[in-house]
A and B are shown apart, each in its own frame.
Chain A
Amino acid sequence: MPGASRQAREAEGLAPPSPSRGAGGPDVGEGLPISLYSSHRPRWRGRSGTAASVVSTLLVVALLVLLIASPAASSFRNGFLNIHQMWVAFVGDPAQGILSVGKGFLLNLWLSVVCEAIVLVLALGVATIRLSRGPVLLPFRALAIAYTDFARGVPVILVMLWVGFGVPSLNLAGVSSQSPVVYAGFVLVFSYTAYVAEVYRAGLMSVPTAQVQAARSLGLKSRTTLSRVVLPQAVRNVLPALLNDFASLQKDTAIVSTLGVAEAVHAAQIAGGVEFNYSAFTIASLLFLAVTVPLTRYTDHVMARDRSRRLASTVT
């Protein structure tokens, strides 16, 4: 009630009575009136907020209408969203030499899962070495730093070309005669181990040292402390980043197409080339989305559940 006088509020008991100030006493808070009102106009609240959300909705709808109704829209639909072409690309057509995008995508899936499993183990090793202390492991530490800098700094596709075409040309017994899928897997593991190692490192550093001291004080060995106390907390703290990298890895299996492996993107390229239609790329994209989107939603769900389970009654 900004209009009510001080005396009125005193009478209602809402304000403390004015203290009687003795001469030379300390300033106990009387003086200039204090304003608690913002000098800015409140933004997007009440009626103007409703108006703003109506306007933004209309803008989005107009944009969609423009996309669908514009003269270019029908050729866009035919070239990118042709259901028949998508189906042909998805199942493949051996008579026309069109590989199945669906079958190819199984290779993407398989490659991403196998690589991720290897990456999760190796990256933990790299992260642990980087966080190690003392002079004994110094050379390893330097090596781990050099490796992560290199692997994160060079584009994956470059490493892919390098290994995929370079290694076979070296004519090394046992190494140069592998299938392109093996080279591709090696490159993905090589690049992603560096990323995931950095994620792990951030996670491990996020666990307070007090946790380590509490575990060690109970007699737990450093190995057990890492696996039972530090790592579970570290992984929890960086789970979104880990799954993010997994989604990236899953997408980057597409780069394997540069080596001519019959995965989804390569198959889509062939189908698109034969039919002069790009719907094959659309179906390939949809397949990738069908994996990454549920993965992301699942991450959110896991995190929310974990949070509520731990904190449910803290805020009351």
Chain B
Amino acid sequence: MKLSALRLKEGLTPLIAVAAILALFPLIGIPQNWLLYLFLFFIYLALANMWNWLAGYCGLISLCQPAFIGLGGYTLAILTWIGLPFYVGIIVGAIVAALFAMLISIPVFRLSGIYFAIGTLIVPELLRILFLIWRPVGGALYGKGAGYVVKGATQFPTTDIYWLALIICLISVLVMRFILRSTVGLGLAAIRDNESTAASSGVNVFNLKFYSFVAAAAVTGLAGAAFYISQGFIEPTSAFNVRWTMILMLATVIGGIRMEEGPAVGAVIVVILHFLLARYGGASLLIQGIILVFIMLVAPRGIVGAVRRLIAYRPSHFLQRLKSRHSR
């Protein structure tokens, strides 16, 4: 796996600058609710980046991301009951999610198209039912199902949660950058174009998909764990809920599937939507569904895609390229 050092460094400075500024926010008195919006943005972006990786670049339209989110969250919660510190819980959460991804990849990778979609759809449902019945450690928050308090979450400082989410988000962005600008990205593009051709040119299709699926699950698990620290409790129906899939799908699609910056743009919009629609309850998801369908039909390349197209066709830009060609 080769890395083009030059390409990796491209645009890294602005990214680090932005991250540094964002990291300073809690220290310079940015209001709490803004920190909350940003926290959600970080989590949603991490999730969306991973989904973009799977669906956009690997051709794996995974509907089982809630499984990894919930597993990350539950692992964390359960470990807090055993008395282990949060950071252990988060990392183990990511590992559990990754292991689970390895486990289900065996049946699931033999499928494609709708079979894969249904296969991945079943997984969060299975976990939801499982955790409704099974109580790994004593005690429950609610009478129905294995709802768990995340012990000590209320003592966890808000700034720490914020930074945790920022770090996880950064990880997801760097992972995407790494993938897209190395030969891994080339291999993935080849697979998406024509899987059998890619295979005969020496791309190890299964391996690439497998590692992508597992790694994406790990990061998704991280994000899930972090989210549930801030929530303070977890229960099966909302942890493994299709609402998660809608969030990460919408963010990726609105921003632009298969675009590196797509999920970032989309995540901003989804956070905004989240708060605009919060008061409408059931209609919130309904509206999100309508937006999803609408965008897919009308602007399937999302905002970033539309902007890129506009830039490409600007006359002044065109002239500039002509000029630079002549001046060589």
Q: Do A and B bind each other?
A: no
Enumerate chain A interface residues (CB-CB to B < 8 A). none
